[in-house]
Amino acid sequence: MSENENPNAFRPGELNRYSSLTEVAKLSHAIRSTGRPVVLVPLGLPCHAGNIEAVRAAASLPRALVIAALWRGLDDDSSDSAIEDAAQALSRAGVEVLLSAPAREPRTEVHSPLEGVGRSQLTALARLVLGSGCTDLVLGERDYRLLIAAQAMITDLAIPVTLHAIPVIRDRDGLPFSTTLMGLDPAEREAAVALSAALTAGAFVASEGADAVLRTVEETVEAAPGVELCSLLLLDPMLGPLAEGATEGRLLAEVELSASGERVEDSVGILLMDREREIARTALEAAGLDPEISDEEWAELRSLQGRVRAAKAEREEREGR
């Protein structure tokens, strides 16, 4: 790895480390002049598996130069060892540029009307995007509110950057990889699992409608020890009000851990439709038939499906003898 403030000395295939956004912009300009995309991936500390998946997603863009940029707030107290650990992990993942620029007190702020998106965070993101000269930006759905706010910022300010969203990367227990959750002790983490379990349960009953989704999440969290539901929202994918008859939504929930008072937020995308009914509609449309299925017709089809399954089970049992 090399500490590099001279774009002419950029070493391909190595992790080149920068502390100046201006120097990264010069490098980006040189790379873009060759027709290659420059992909910015903002990351928090400490580095975790979700970060690595984000840079791998960025590297999947053909001929891309990936810039991993560490979030450095005004109150940042990240240790040198955390930065070094991140550098080692990112180097192994094939990242060629690591930017760790100190934060500056902004004189201009970018504000989002979305609740939960801080001005300082969105302003810092705008500075990284505009200052780095990137062509593409990769953000995870883990911080879904920031993702939507970033897309609105890019659109409203006509920033010539393409935003790529990657799904939430989850650990084996279902919790998303995140800087916040890495600080939980085992007991707190076990309690927090109830949130992800509740969202999964809510998504599972999405075909029954929005009320069933919200009720299921509330009941699941209520039955779990050590957590209390703070907020629960079912919105459209762009975080606006869910329209009547909408087929897609975003389920967001926040819980408080009783032991520490720590708050944990998570979200999932849901399909507010009966998947089997949608498959049947698609099949009818593909056959050139009217794809609309009334409730009465669907009830008859489900009844027929049940009889077919029963007959199949009876045959298999008979043949098994």
28 to 25, 77, 123, 156, 281: CA distances (angstroms): 5, 28, 21, 24, 48
User: Residues 209-217: contacts with CB within 8 Å, 24+ apart?
Assistant: 209/272, 210/234, 210/242, 210/249, 210/272, 213/251, 213/270, 213/272, 217/251, 217/253
Identify whether the C-beta of residue 184 lies closer than 8 Å to the C-beta of residue 192.
yes
Pairwise CA distance, residues 133 & 297, whole Å: 56
User: How many helices and strands (H and E) does the chain possess?
Assistant: 10, 10
DSSP string, 68-133: EEE---TT----HHHHHHHHHHHHHTT--EEE-PPP---SS----SSTT--HHHHHHHHHHHHHHT
Beta bridge partners of 238: none
Average pLDDT over residues 197-224: 94
Pairwise CA distance, residues 211 & 47, whole Å: 38
Identify whether the C-beta of residue 199 lies closer than 8 Å to the C-beta of residue 267.
yes
Residue 39 banded pLDDT, cuts 50, 70, 90:
very high
* Segment (H or E) for 231: strand 227-235
Pairwise CA distance, residues 284 & 98, whole Å: 52
**pLDDT tens per residue, range 219-238:** 999 999 999 999 999 999 99
pTM score, whole prediction: 0.82
**pLDDT tens per residue, range 264-294:** 999 999 988 766 666 777 777 777 778 787 7
Q: Is the pLDDT of residue 74 over 70?
A: no
CA 321, chain centre distance (Å): 51
Burial class of residue 218 in the structure, from the number of CB atoms within 10 Å of its CB (0-12 exposed, 13-18 middle, 19+ buried): middle
Percent of the chain at pLDDT above 70?
92
Average pLDDT of the chain? 89
User: Residues 73-79: contacts with CB within 8 Å, 24+ apart?
Assistant: 73/103, 73/120, 73/124, 74/103, 74/105, 74/120, 76/102, 76/103, 78/45
**The predicted structure's pLDDT at residue 147:** 96
**pLDDT tens per residue, range 232-261:** 999 999 999 999 878 899 999 999 999 999
Identify whether the C-beta of residue 128 lies closer than 8 Å to the C-beta of residue 164.
no
**The predicted structure's pLDDT at residue 86:** 92
Pairwise CA distance, residues 68 & 59, whole Å: 11
Tell me the two tokens of residue 321.
């003898």
186: left (phi over 0), alpha (psi -120 to 50) or beta: alpha
Pairwise CA distance, residues 249 & 203, whole Å: 10
Identify whether the C-beta of residue 227 lies closer than 8 Å to the C-beta of residue 194.
yes
